[in-house]
Structure 1
Amino acid sequence: MILHRLKDLRNDVVSVLWLSLSLFLGLSLYSYRAADPSWNSLGLNSKPLNWCGYLGSFSADFLYQFFGMSSWVFVVFLFFLSYQVLRSHQSTKTKKQIWLVLLLVASSALAELYFSHLKYYSGHVGVGGTIGSFLSVTLKKALNFYGATLFLTTFLAIGLLTITDWTLPGLGKKISTVLSFLGKTLWEGALRLVRGWHPLRSMAKRSLPKLPKRAHIPTIFNDDPEPFTHREPVVSMADDEDLWEEPTSEDIEEEAPRRRRRVQLKKKVQRKIANWKLPEIGMLEDPPASRYRVDQSEVNNKSKILVDKLSQFSVTGEVMGAKPGPAVTMFEFKPKADVKISKITELADDLSLALSSESVRIIAPIPGRDVVGIETSNANRETVYLKDIIAHEQFWNDDVKLPMALGREANGSPKVVDLRRMPHLLVAGTTGSGKSVFVVCALTGLLFRHSPKTLRLILIDPKQVDLSTFNDIPHLLMPTICEPKKAVSALKWAVKEMEKRYRSMSKFGARGLEAFNEKVADFDKDKIAQHEAYNQELDDQKRHNETYYYTPQPYIVIVVEEFGDLMAVDKANVEQLVVRLAQMARASGIHLILAMQSPRKDVVTGLIKTNIPGRISFKVASKMDSRIILDESGAERLLARGDMLFLAPGYAKPTRHHGPWVTESEIASIMDYWAEQGEPEYDQSAMNMTKGSGVSFADELGGEGGVEEYDERYDEILAWAASMKEVSASLIQRKFRIGYPRAARLIETMEREGVIGPANGSKPRQVLVNSFEDRQP
């Protein structure tokens, strides 16, 4: 009898041990944190947050790494073994314990075979772990998918019967009992619901207040006035109306094979300008019906990992808010008073590792706030479509004259900026960062708002690829320029055009292009004819520098796709021309967009940076490049494909945006639409200057310059020389305030044409003609 009692006591102890082990492992697995000390992170100096301490942290990490989420099968069967020993008062056999381990291996392999795409704890834990992954891959190679499924299912069934001591008839009876109970419960519940539906409905009508038609559920911690979850209007255009108004409903139409949404604009916009019709937004493809949303659990989990990881480095605080966006989620972390900000900025790489994030960028602090911004990449990124941004009412605001579709902000709201107010833009980004796509989207957006009557373009594309699709549109002032030397001439023409516009505005008392266009738009035919006759008289007298405009003038946007190539060919002239345009061209309606791959110091010089405050940086190669373009680091941590930092004029810190995407077929349809309305009408003076090559800009200012064959002031100087008896380079230099090298080249040209005689030592040369027409052809 004593032996019998000792045997029962032993079985009770074994049962309690099995139960304790089951509870210990269950609590350890449930409270698992990826940042806790483990086999992969030996941070013994930091305190684990696991409910079972260091042992629980290491045990949970071991099970999750080897068996994944299938480790919970082990916990369940340990609990079952404890119950079985307690009920039968018999200790478990070694055979059952071995089968328990084999059952765990088989379940992890089967789970990995079907659900390998599922990841937990920010991607640290899979469903089957290392063993399950290895076994499922091996069996799939040997037996294919269905053979591996049959093998593992058979193995599981045998293991289950061995551990539980069930028979097949008994197992079938248990399954049928469970199914019968569930079916009966569901049927009775449905009957009770039907019987109580009408009384419940009438009671709800009497007691519950009316809810608004559309309740807003804010994103976690999101206090932004324009939340991420708002829907933008979509544009659909009518063909035969100059003005159109869109309906206010937001229809969802289904197109095979995927659902798409149609946008509608709640605003009247002008579609016809003079003889030109603006393109329909329907030419752009409809975006998908639903936008990607960051999972709430992902945000909560990342915020916990963030706090845990920072606490390991003695950086304590709390997450005050989180703003999910298309590509990144920004967490607002408020450190405690004794934490130095510099200590947080040094942990970007550690946080990136802990969060399994492609990149982490730290804003310390957020301007005007008492929190630090920590931006982490989302597991899945949302594509920002150009149609969504162009369809937004910001793009059609009457105050925005040159709208640029910047994309979406970090919180998901659309962003449109006015190039006229910037008034120039520097864009930098490495290959694959999205720089060229952004430039194309910016130009495409301008073509939705402007006809050739209100906007003209000068496109400079040394790569001969990115801007070639715009070759046939009527907005071009000259063909797309691919040679850097011709690009210098085009920039010089822009300076001349700027000076002429300033003369025109000065003559009519206007302070800007908009005011000038309003004044001259009221001129009648007689007044226009009077100004035309006066300008013709100035041309006849070779006084080209005194002519002016007396009709409305369009905006001019100059786009340089690879600014570094221009600076490499003729840095001195290009820099002086760009700086002068940047300093003065704003009021005259001329604007620059300079794009480059590498913002080196010899490309983005101090003068250029000072005069072009608007800057956009996509992903760059180094911190140095980021500091050159943005005056601070951070752009080197951006993602590829459209992720950007935008530094607006007057702001100290850049803001993060995700640029829009447009397909080649969409661009082609818009370009074809404009090409069908008319061929490009190139400006003759611009064509002459790019064909012939003007003098260097330094010479025009009276300095030393480069070598060019043609001089646009040659006819003027020749007419003056014909009225003289003798001329010399020094005399021309003083008379017309030009550099000596330029004057010497003019003397050589006159000698070739027979205007003056040969050199006679240091004496002036004799003039051989009496009038401008007497020169040799």
Structure 2
Amino acid sequence: MNDLFTRFKDDIFGLAWLSISLFLGLALFSFNPQDPSFNTLGDSSLASNYCGFFGSFLSDVLYQSLGLVAWVLVLLSVRASVKFFKGRQLEWTRWTFIWGTILLITLTGLMELYLPEKQFYQAQIQTGGVIGELVTAGLTQIFNFWGAALLLWSSFLILLVFYTEKTLLELSTAPWSGVKKVLGKKDVISFSFIDELGVVEKISSFFKREGVEDSGLEKTIESYQEKSNFFKIDQDIEEEEASTEFSIQEGEPKEGQLSFKIFKKDKEKAKKKKPRITKRVENWEMPKLEYLNDPPKKSKQKNSRIDDKEIKIKARLLTQKFEQFNVGGEVVGIRPGPAVTLFEFKPNIDVKISKITDLADDLCLALSSESVRIIAPIPGRDVVGIETSNSFQETVYLKDIISEGDFWDAEMSLPIPLGRQADGEPKVVDLRKMPHLLVAGTTGSGKSVFVVSTLTALLFKHSPKTLKLILIDPKQVDLTIFNNIPHLIMPPIREPQKAVVALRWAIKEMDKRYRSMSKFGARSIDEFNRKVGELSKEEIEEHEEMNREAEENNLHLETYYYSPQAFVVIVVEEFGDLMAVDKNNVEHGVVRLAQMARACGMHLILAMQSPRKDVVTGLIKTNIPGRISFKVASKLDSRIILDESGGERLLARGDMLFLAPGISKPKRHHGAWLSEEEINRVVNHWIDQGEPEYDDLAMKALEGSGGGYDFAGDDSFNGNEEESEYDERYDEIVSFVSGQKAVSASLLQRRFRLGYPRAARLIEIMESEGVVGPANGSKPRDVLISEYKD
């Protein structure tokens, strides 16, 4: 019953005030001095008043005391009724009654001062009533007529300001605002008819024809023309902005507590940017946008967006709940989105923000919402944001984000389609500017869909010539669909031990790229690609010869690239599993890449279910500022991934918080949905054009990974690797090897506590001197000597 009353409370109070206004109006309109009242005795059954005996007494009291000002009470009752019907509340306080009462008394004095001779209803009623007569008599006796008029008018204006809480300027423009709404025009006072009738031209031609020289008039005409054109241009600009920005559905002036604006995107008027899709890059044909499914028609999703009535009910309940906890303020704006609606609440100046943030659970109960998140305050504004879940969640489709957003802009090197923002706008970010990304979310939150949609979007933007991928998927489920695409550097990795090898290869690749950039004096991968792209054929042959000599002499640290290099994106699904198997090596590898790999075009995307403290360590958080949180299990997980709570209050199925680098507060987005059929179309498009060309060094490293690498003990990782071919422990190691039947780099690592590059280099030296045999796949090398002499 309480919920039913709360829902229809405005209608009930609106009808009550309407009945009061009609009763007062009928009683005053049908007033008859002969009816029984306090001044006239008579039979109550003979009252001619439309409202009977009670109406005759009430109208007599009002007319005798206030005169014609009694009709102001009728107007105030009608105003109260209209406000309730519009879903607003009356802010009646003690001062409202005080200022209103004094204002009525002042108005009776003005009526009696200017119309003292006027009497109505058989000379029984005066214009200002008894109160007006007393006020006027007292003031005129002291100040005379003009002094009393000045005092009454100034008092009337001051009291009107206090009563309405509006400035005199606002009160003076209020009538024009009403006329604007009726006429539906921006400018009420318009002189456009002067231009239409050609008045200016006729006046100007008249003076020219008559030979009248009046420079002042000509300057006035020219000034008018310039000013007219200026306002015309300004009006066109405003209309153009209104067609592309938000259209305000409910934009009343602030008169009560629920005077807010509902911002909605006018999609019909918004100009959609036509995507500039690249169809072909060298020998590669790019995927068609038609591979992605079109979103269903609006009629099929007409109930997906929250309607205006539900918005107003929630805004009213929100304000009432705050009032119960003595939190004063008003809802000043509402922004509906695909999954949540943002209410902009402006608290009173004496309200502490901490008092609002503690009410999240109470608001969730009051609004019957699945989740409530409080942004206190919204950055750069003096309002608090309250995000509540919609009754129906709108599905966001990847095709819409790619088509409408900035996905195809040239500045977007590695675009990631986040989805739609809380206000429904598409959002695309560039991975190069982040430059790495942490993603966390529980099962069913939408984390895996986001990772897959990110990879699919990158396949729309880049060919294998400009993008290379390393996919690490310990679950062996989410990323297997991308097997055999030509963008892969190595096959998708499923074993955590081999994931460490892949990270080691990435570090070597990073070092080689930096050597190459240093060789050509480039500070970024874009500058390097531009410079090597300008090399002549003779210069390319010269660089090729230098690299060949370095490889023949086993001087691998002197090799470098002299051709354009692609971006490398390393995607790790279930990063927590890798940290559980080999935390030290994985952390060292990730931190090294996160610290240095940005400039050379290598980027990380690390996804996990639970962002525990032992998974997302301090070093990793420091070097990866870009973070996305889907729904997580607890506040602690949210604080680890976002540095604040809120992730635990998200909805499932794509609801996310994105924390961009350099931004203190995360922003809410709703991720794009992508079906398996759409992914298969894009993947098959690339598979049909060619097989992946795996990197030889990466494959050798994977094949020779017996037990993984020790990054902590790797000299090259710490930047202390010796470049000379001679090793001071060579004799000691060969003496040990001579007593073995087979040997491998891993054996030397464990026996002598060496880093892998040093152990591998010693194996190569021993092979060149005939100590061990050639490589035999992943098997250890045979030892060819049985005794060693210094």
Task: Check the 8 A contact 1:227/1:413 in 2, yes or no.
Answer: no
- Aligned with 1:375 (options 381, 387, 407): 387
Shift of 1:338: 1.4
Match of 1:277 among 268, 279, 285: 285
* Matched residue count: 532
Pick closer, same or farther for the CA change 1:490–1:219 going to 2, 3 Å. Answer: farther
Residues 127-152 of structure 1: per-residue CA shift (max 9 Å, x gap): xxxxxxxxxxxxxxxxxxxxxxxxxx
* Equivalent position SS for 2:417: strand
* CA–CA separation in structure 2 for the residues paired with 1:526 and 1:489: 37
Shift of 1:771: 12
1:266 aligns with 2:274: yes
Contact 2:274 2:403 in 1 (8 A): no
- CA separation in 2, counterparts of 1:468 and 1:618? 22
Q: How far apart are 1:340 and its partner, in Å?
A: 1.3
AA aligned to 1:492 is R
Fraction of identical pairs, as percent: 58
* Greater Rg over alpha carbons, structure: 2
Give the SS at the match of 2:274: coil
1:33 aligns with 2:6: yes
For residue 452 of structure 2, give the secondary structure of its aligned residue in structure 1.
Answer: helix
Q: State the partner residue of 1:576.
A: 588
The alignment partner of 1:362 has SS state of: strand
* Paired position in structure 2 for 1:655: 667
Distance 1:420 1:744, change over 3 A: closer
For 2:713, the equivalent position in structure 1 comes to 699
Instruction: From the superposition, tell whether residues 746 and 593 of structure 1 become closer, same or farther in structure 2 (CA, over 3 Å).
Output: closer
Partners of 1:751 and 1:501 lie apart in 2 by 25
| Residue of structure 1 aligned with 2:487, choices 472, 475, 487 | 475
Aligned twin of 1:587: 599
Displacement of 1:691 in angstroms is 1.5
| Distance in 2 separating the partners of 1:512 and 1:405 | 24
Match of 1:293 in 2: 305
Q: CA deviation at 1:272?
A: 1.0
Q: TM-score scaled to structure 2, two decimals?
A: 0.62
The amino acid across from 1:266 in the alignment is K
SS in 2 for 1:587: coil
CA contact (8 A) 1:619 1:643 kept: yes
**Within 1, Cα distance between the matches of 2:393 and 2:700?**
49
- Mapped to 1, the partners of 2:699 and 2:261 lie a distance apart of 51
The counterpart of 2:474, out of the listed 462, 485, 489, is 462
Q: 1:606 to 1:356 in 2, by over 3 A?
A: same
Is 1:220–1:323's contact at 8 Å kept on the other side of the alignment?
Answer: no
The 5-angstrom pairing of residues 368-517 of structure 1 reads 368-517=380-529
Q: CA deviation at 1:218?
A: 2.7
Whichever residue aligns with residue 288 of structure 2, its letter is: E
Deviations 1:202-239 (A, max 9, x none): xxxx99x9998996743546999995333699xxxxxx
| 1:695 to partner: Cα distance | 3.0
SS at match of 2:335: strand
Give CA-to-partner distance per residue, 1:98-154, whole Å, 9 cap, x none.
xxxxxxxxxxxxxxxxxxxxxxxx9xxxxxxxxxxxxxxxxxxxxxxxxxxxxxxxx
Q: 1:340 aligns with which of 336, 339, 352?
A: 352
User: 2:249·2:262 contact (CA, 8 Å) conserved in 1?
Assistant: no
| Alpha-carbon distance in structure 1 between the residues aligned to 2:261 and 2:287 | 34
8 Å CA contact 2:263, 2:336 repeated in 1: no
* 1:133-282 map, 5 Å: 217-220=247-250, 228-230=265-267, 266-282=274-290
1:567 to 579, 585, 602: 579
User: Aligned partners of 2:5, 2:517: CA distance in 1, in Å?
Assistant: 72
Aligned-residue offset at 1:495: 0.5
Distance 1:674 1:583, change over 3 A: same
Distance in 1 between the 2:758 and 2:651 partners? 58
* CA distance in 2 between partners of 1:458 and 1:746 (Å): 22
Question: For residues 175-227 of structure 1, what are the alpha-carbon distances to aligned partners after superposition, in whole Å with 9 as ceiling and x for unaligned?
Answer: xxxxxxxxxxxxxxxxxxxxxxxxxxxxxxx99x9998996743546999995
The answer (yes or no) to whether the contact 1:404–1:416 under 8 Å persists in 2 is: yes
Contact 2:444/2:652, CA 8 A, preserved across alignment: yes
| 1:762 corresponds to | none
Q: Using the TM superposition, give the Cα deviation of residue 337 of structure 1 relative to its aligned residue in structure 2, in angstroms.
A: 1.3
What do residues 304-361 of structure 1 show as CA deviations (whole Å, max 9, x unaligned)?
0100111111111100100000000000001111111111111111111111100000
Task: For 2:693, give the aligned amino acid.
Answer: E
Q: CA deviation at 1:288?
A: 1.6
Distance across 1 between alignment mates of 2:502 and 2:524:
23
In the aligned structure 2, how far is the partner of 1:608 from the partner of 1:746?
Answer: 25
Aligned to 2:544: 532
Contact 2:772 2:784 in 1 (8 A): no
8 A Cα contact 1:34 1:305, kept in partner: no
SS in structure 2 opposite 1:552?
coil
Q: How far off is 1:274 after superposition? A: 1.1
Q: Which amino acid aligns with 1:354?
A: A
CA distance in 1, matches of 2:421, 2:657: 10
Point out the more displaced range, 368-377 or 283-292.
Answer: 283-292
Separation (CA, whole Å) in 2 of partners of 1:552 and 1:650 = 31
**Shift in Å, 1:524:** 2.2
Q: Does the alignment pair 1:630 with 2:642?
A: yes
**Is this contact kept in 2: 1:429–1:598, CA < 8 A?**
yes
Specify whether residues 508 and 754 from structure 1 end up closer, same or farther in structure 2 by C-alpha distance, changes over 3 A only: closer
For 1:675, the equivalent position in structure 2 comes to 687
Structure 2 Cα separation of the partners of residues 527 and 33 of structure 1: 81
TM-score (norm 1): 0.62
**2:339 corresponds to 1:309:** no
**Displacement, 1:523?**
1.4
- SS of 1:677's partner is coil
Contact 1:462/1:565, CA 8 A, preserved across alignment? yes
Counterpart for residue 760 of structure 1: none
Q: 3-state SS of the aligned residue for 1:338?
A: coil
Return 374-383 or 335-344, whichever deviates more. Answer: 335-344
Unaligned runs of 5+ in 1: 1-27, 37-47, 53-121, 123-205, 234-247, 249-263, 705-712, 730-737, 757-766
Residue 742 of structure 1 and its aligned partner are, at CA, apart by 3.4
Give distance in 1, aligned partners of 2:647 and 2:725: 54
SS in 1 for 2:688: helix
Contact residue 422 and residue 668 of structure 2 kept, 8 A: yes
CA distance, structure 2, for counterparts of residue 607 and residue 687 of structure 1: 29
Q: Contact conserved, 1:432 with 1:640, CA < 8 A, in 2? A: yes
Moved more, 767-776 or 610-619: 767-776
1:619 aligns with 2:631: yes
Paired with 1:218 and 1:271, the residues of 2 have a C-alpha distance of: 40
SS at the partner of 2:344? strand
Go from structure 1 to structure 2 and tell me whether the alpha carbon gap of 1:769 and 1:598 turns closer, same or farther (over 3 Å shift).
closer
* Contact residue 560 and residue 594 of structure 1 kept, 8 A: yes
The CA deviation at 1:530 is 1.1
The Cα shift of 1:626 comes to 0.2
2:338 is aligned to: 326
Structure 1 residue 741 displacement after superposition: 3.7
Aligned partners of 1:441 and 1:660 also within 8 Å: yes
Partner letter of residue 629 of structure 1? I
CA distance in 1, matches of 2:755, 2:361: 62
2: distance between equivalents of 1:30 and 1:425? 46
Cross-structure match for 1:552: 564
Task: Please say if residues 728 and 747 of structure 1, whose CA atoms lie closer than 8 Å, have aligned partners that are also in contact.
Answer: no
Q: Say which SS state the counterpart of residue 497 (structure 1) adopts.
A: helix
User: Which residue of the partner structure matches residue 195 of structure 1?
Assistant: none
Report if the CA contact (8 A) 2:405-2:428 is conserved. no
